[in-house]
Structure 1
Amino acid sequence: MKYIFKSIVLIVVFALGGCKSFLDTEPKDFLSKQNYYTTEDHLNRALISVYDILGSNNTYGSNMLGRMGLDADQAFYGRNEKTGVSVYETAATDPLVTAFWQAMYDGINRANVLLENVSRPTMNEGKRNTIIGEAKFLRAYYYFLLVTNFGDVPLKIKTNDSPTETNFPRVSKREIYDFIIKEMTEAEAMVSTAGKVGFGGKISKSAVRGILARVCLHMAGHPVNDVSKYAEARKWAKMVMDPDPADGYVHALNPSYKQIFINYAQDLYDMKESIWEVEFWGFADGTYSESKRVGSNNGIRAHHTDNATNDLIGYAYGYIQTTASHFMLYGSESKTIGSVVLEYSNDLRRDWTIAPFYYGAAHNGAKVYPPATVADMYRRLSGKWRREYELIKPKSKNDTPQNYPLLRFSDVLLMFAEADNMVNEGPTPEAVEALNKVRRRGYGKNLKAELVRNIVITNQGTGYPATTTVAITGGGGTGATATATVVGGKITDISITDEGSGYTSAPIVTITGTGGKSATATAVISQIAATKADFTIAEIGTKADFLKLLQDERTRELAFENLRKSDLVRWGIFYQNMQNEAQDMVTGAASTWSVHSRYFTNVRQKDEVWPIPAREIGLNQGLVQNPGW
């Protein structure tokens, strides 16, 4: 069953027809608290408006997708802006930072209004409690985003009806975290189980528990450093990993890493893996839609005019370009086939997370696969959200129907492993197994099959038309597909569009095109079966060693999902890591990309948090600016 959250906007209309009308004290058309919130439907619509903040342009709908520096050392902003939060040249007047602050407090205020009026309608108390739980959780989540990005912030848990009451001082980070944990804990008892909810766009007990684990890890780390919260983080993560005591629902990893993101592109739910996600649907020109820019901002760059109407590729700005260090973190191996040297990673996540191709100069869908030189590593873009997998057509230039993950089960496993390591002063078998589950999936172990990873052209042939086809047959497997690029009648490239599965030997590649002759190619299958994914305790060593493994695994698994900067901050290594990247990029990148090194060289210690928006300080006499800003 399909569930789509739609935006609900409550509009206040005043009739200003003349002086007498302007001075009237009684509004003629006004959705006030007195004449709204009187039915169960009113409450549900108000709750949708609280959810709606998650998908706004100022949050996960656009700005947070590559434009606010949240990917930290994983990537850099690959456009030409020289100032702004996107390149760590932030100011208190930055429009994206200001809009983010306002969006968070807008969501908080919507939740406050709902919670203050939730008892008014006559309705089933169980349904009322579910609404209360979801509203409390969302309000707490918006405070979590505020405290991790601004530090101390005002705590507003009731609506303000007085136009003269404008003094709201900042509250300490500890107090904000205490409030978040209290609210989310209360919400956990009130919302439905994941099995009952059935899809990732709505809050479930699993979502609350997983985010509580994340909150507790942040409170345990820098700058609050309340290490007692590691035990709480472990507890909440373990509750997600275990069968739900209420209905036995069990979360599990999707066997295929790339399928997670294809599901987001095609509105397919997999709540066992994707526990909580922001839902989008349709496209901008549709009569009914809730589309935003997942895959447009953070996809594989294809931004020339003809791609605006290209239903194969789709238009994408490609704001996120990876760093060489992030690329190399997945490991790299080579294999020689004839005179051709192939470069690949046994970690299947790399070439999905970091696109191994870019669209060529013809802008007609042809993919160009660069070599693994340092300069070309910086060329590579975020590849998780690929517009080619979208089903809705025609494809909008800017807006997409793709969903965006807020909590995946692999994140829960890694959070458990980290918390367990800290609680037990070193790795335990349970923690190592949680890490290894994520790694096995990353290395394709859950697929239990070989994949077609490369196709090498051994003869380009002559006389082939643009409509030349490529067939992959035999080898004991199924599902592998590829497309040919033809230039001057010659086969210049064969791009794999699906790696397939189950191959026990290299399949046969057949190239067919009217008038073409002599072209041949050889398929190369992966070496998954020979690849070691698991770590043992003996190999890991100390608590510090295991933490470093987990830090690296989190960036491999969760890259470009808006978690990296806050992770680095809580680990106390944000500034150092950004300095390291600045040095690498200045000395190691070709001049084409080193010009973007300002993304890293601009960073100062104060950039752990953003400045309090100047507009808010002007309106709120109780606010003071963050140190250094």
Structure 2
Amino acid sequence: MKLNITKAIAGLSLVTVISSCSKDFINLAPVSNQTTATFFKTTNDFQQGVNAIYDGLQSIRTYGKSSYYLMEVRSDNTDILDRGALGGVASQIDLFTETTTNPFLTDVYAGSYVTISRANAVLDQVDAAAIPDSSKKQFKGEALFLRAFVYFDLVRLYGKVPLVIRTETTAEAQHDKRNDVAEVYGQIEKDLQSAAALLPGIYTNVNDGGRATAGTANGLLGKVYITEKKWAAATAVLKNVTGYTLLSDYAALYNPANAVNAEVLFTVRFKKGLSPSEGNTYFTDMVPFSFYYNGVAYGGSNNNRPTNDMVSAYEKDDKRLIASLDTVSLKNATTTQRGNYVKKYLDVPGATGDGGSSFPVLRYADVLLLQAEALNEQGYSAATGPGTAFDYLNQVRLRAGLKARTTAELPDQGSFRDAVFSERRVELAFENNRWFDLIRYSKGLAILQAHLLKEYNLSTPVLTPARLLFPIPQSEIDIHNDPTNFPQNP
């Protein structure tokens, strides 16, 4: 069951059918006009269908590019090279001035529903399929996990969103409503609970590396519970995330050849040098405008650029700094230049926009910090032994070459909470966590307002809780034309 997206897409002859701006439904029919109902017959058919769901995450509309504009550039972690008016749509995201027609908003929204529709196509058919039970369980578990993962992003970015859990006709899609946030989270929880019960703990076939496992589903479920402030439920489920460990070398996490390792629960995988391309735009998007690397001159956009505040967030001797970013690079063979850029995804592309670095979505370090947070929120404890909040926090710090936090430094719940959020920022930098952390952090709005003033000397816009959600793309509002069931965000 090799995770070969290129072959999967070629085998499926995927054709996008647009039923609204956001509801692109996978059409699995070849020339003979098969439908999704008639295509899925064999184990291989379903394998191709599941591979197509993973492929949705590779799209430049989502984790191939656009997602980190909404999840990193929006935060205080990164900005873009051109921060002024000429920066256009990227600058809007950076400066909280986005319009409802901003293409990054539309891309992530629409790209997410493409992936959801592919998951639904598999889930509609798999229960009744005449395939081995073991394969049926795996395919269903993978599709449920991937659907939940995408909805988790959507509900945190946009709030109320249409909850689509089966393949819809064009007419049906046009009558979708924006479901309440609680309904969306309820479905996410249900999908992940089911996925955790269906998926294997490990895959015995080396070619299956990178597929979702029971640990992947439980890890994401724990993160969902944390977001909902269900602290006890988070503690219980995160204890089920076993078999993972922190790599001794933080930098090794970002070696493209080491994308599947003992620390990563789930990663969006890319591979350069294929035709059609299965690579990403990270290198070209993030390196400086003139960038001399390994004896070759490259040109980049220097977007998703670490802010000065991000650079200063690292403590002295933190090993994660040099693995994550740099402030100096070569402009040519003999000239250095100052300027911040992300190093985590510094994989020379096979061609422009064809990088091979994978994107770590969920790591064991994240799980440890979530466990520390959940325990602390249930009641501060000064205990430091195994399984305590201090233990989980300090495991991450010690790997980074830093001293363990002590009860003298963190004597109460508030100081421990602040320490966890600070640790999450530097440990998970540029991995699409910071914006979501700021949303659920009580000091998040104040941090963002200070960021606008410190980095850009801007006192406007004045940020309110409403600005913690992105607008629904205007094309969706126009198509549905239903202010009651499909209103715009405030």
Match of 1:364 in 2: 333
Match of 1:527 in 2: none
Match of 1:419 in 2: 374
Higher-Rg structure is 1
**Which residue, 447, 471, 480 being the options, matches 1:620?**
480
Contact 1:81–1:87 (8 Å) recurs in 2: no
Match of 1:562 in 2: 432
SS at match of 2:317: coil
Which residue type is aligned with residue 327 of structure 2? Answer: P
Corresponding position: 1:81 with 2:87:
yes
**Which residue, 175, 183, 186 being the options, matches 1:175?**
183
1:17-50 CA-partner distances (Å, limit 9, x unpaired): xxxxxxxxxx973131343111111111111111
SS at match of 2:164: coil
CA distance in 1, matches of 2:65, 2:341: 17
Contact 1:85–1:97 (8 Å) recurs in 2: no
1:548 CA drift (Å): 0.3
**Which residue, 36, 53, 58 being the options, matches 1:55?**
58
1:211 CA drift (Å): 0.8
Counterpart mapping for 1:591-606 below 5 A: 594=456, 601-602=460-461, 604-605=463-464, 606=466
The answer to which of 71-80 and 550-559 deviates more is 71-80
Match of 1:381 in 2: 341
1:70 CA drift (Å): 4.6
Match of 1:138 in 2: 146
- Aligned-residue CA RMSD (Å): 2.7
Which residue type is aligned with residue 604 of structure 1? Answer: L
**Which residue, 323, 327, 335 being the options, matches 2:311?**
327
The answer to which of 44-53 and 32-41 deviates more is 32-41
**Which residue, 594, 608, 613 being the options, matches 2:468?**
608
Contact 1:134–1:187 (8 Å) recurs in 2: yes
Contact 1:151–1:173 (8 Å) recurs in 2: yes
SS at match of 2:409: helix
Query: Judging changes above 3 Å, is the alpha-carbon distance between structure 1 residues 194 and 34 closer, same or farther for their aligned structure 2 residues?
Result: closer
Which residue type is aligned with residue 549 of structure 1? Answer: A
Match of 1:280 in 2: 270
Query: Judging changes above 3 Å, is the alpha-carbon distance between structure 1 residues 359 and 29 closer, same or farther for their aligned structure 2 residues?
Result: same
- Normalised to the residue count of structure 2, the TM-score between the two structures is 0.87
Corresponding position: 1:434 with 2:392:
yes
SS at match of 1:73: coil
Counterpart mapping for 1:85-484 below 5 A: 85-161=93-169, 163=171, 166-194=174-202, 196=204, 201-220=210-229, 229-240=230-241, 242=242, 250-261=243-254, 263-264=255-256, 267-283=257-273, 286-287=274-275, 289-298=277-286, 300-303=287-290, 312=296, 314-331=298-315, 345-360=316-331, 363-364=332-333, 367-368=336-337, 379-387=339-347, 390=348, 395-426=350-381, 428-429=383-384, 430-443=388-401
Which residue type is aligned with residue 5 of structure 2? Answer: F
Contact 1:417–1:431 (8 Å) recurs in 2: yes
Which residue type is aligned with residue 110 of structure 1? Answer: R
SS at match of 1:317: coil
Which residue type is aligned with residue 301 of structure 1? Answer: P
Query: Judging changes above 3 Å, is the alpha-carbon distance between structure 1 residues 616 and 627 closer, same or farther for their aligned structure 2 residues?
Result: closer
Contact 1:71–1:559 (8 Å) recurs in 2: no
Contact 2:156–2:469 (8 Å) recurs in 1: yes
Match of 2:26 in 1: none
Contact 1:574–1:608 (8 Å) recurs in 2: no
Which residue type is aligned with residue 364 of structure 1? Answer: A
CA distance in 1, matches of 2:16, 2:434: 43
**Which residue, 539, 547, 552 being the options, matches 2:422?**
552
1:222-254 CA-partner distances (Å, limit 9, x unpaired): xxxxxxx111112222222x4xxxxxxx21111
Which residue type is aligned with residue 551 of structure 1? Answer: F
Query: Judging changes above 3 Å, is the alpha-carbon distance between structure 1 residues 147 and 70 closer, same or farther for their aligned structure 2 residues?
Result: farther
Query: Judging changes above 3 Å, is the alpha-carbon distance between structure 1 residues 195 and 133 closer, same or farther for their aligned structure 2 residues?
Result: closer
1:348-405 CA-partner distances (Å, limit 9, x unpaired): 1122222131223xx237544x5xxxxxxxx322222223xx5x7xx32322111111
Contact 1:191–1:204 (8 Å) recurs in 2: yes
Contact 1:112–1:159 (8 Å) recurs in 2: yes
Instruction: Give ranges in structure 1 of 5+ residues lacking alignment.
Output: 15-26, 221-228, 243-249, 332-344, 371-378, 444-531, 586-593
Contact 2:282–2:353 (8 Å) recurs in 1: no
Query: Judging changes above 3 Å, is the alpha-carbon distance between structure 1 residues 401 and 315 closer, same or farther for their aligned structure 2 residues?
Result: farther
Contact 2:201–2:213 (8 Å) recurs in 1: yes
SS at match of 2:283: coil
Match of 1:225 in 2: none
1:324 CA drift (Å): 2.8
1:244-284 CA-partner distances (Å, limit 9, x unpaired): xxxxxx211111111111x23xx32442112211111123x
Contact 1:330–1:556 (8 Å) recurs in 2: yes
SS at match of 1:47: helix
CA distance in 2, matches of 1:68, 1:539: 31
1:215 CA drift (Å): 0.9
1:416-462 CA-partner distances (Å, limit 9, x unpaired): 1111111234454211111111111111xxxxxxxxxxxxxxxxxxx
1:55 CA drift (Å): 0.6
CA distance in 2, matches of 1:13, 1:209: 32
CA distance in 1, matches of 2:205, 2:153: 24
CA distance in 2, matches of 1:346, 1:28: 60
Query: Judging changes above 3 Å, is the alpha-carbon distance between structure 1 residues 87 and 78 closer, same or farther for their aligned structure 2 residues?
Result: farther
**Which residue, 448, 451, 456 being the options, matches 1:578?**
448
Which residue type is aligned with residue 364 of structure 2? Answer: F
SS at match of 1:538: coil
Match of 2:411 in 1: 541
CA distance in 1, matches of 2:109, 2:479: 13
CA distance in 2, matches of 1:13, 1:406: 26
1:310 CA drift (Å): 7.2
Contact 1:200–1:274 (8 Å) recurs in 2: no
Q: How many residue pairs are counted as aligned between the two chains?
A: 463
Which residue type is aligned with residue 341 of structure 2? Answer: L
1:579 CA drift (Å): 1.0
Match of 1:5 in 2: 5
Instruction: Give ranges in structure 2 of 5+ residues lacking alignment.
Output: 18-29
SS at match of 2:305: strand
The answer to which of 161-170 and 47-56 deviates more is 161-170
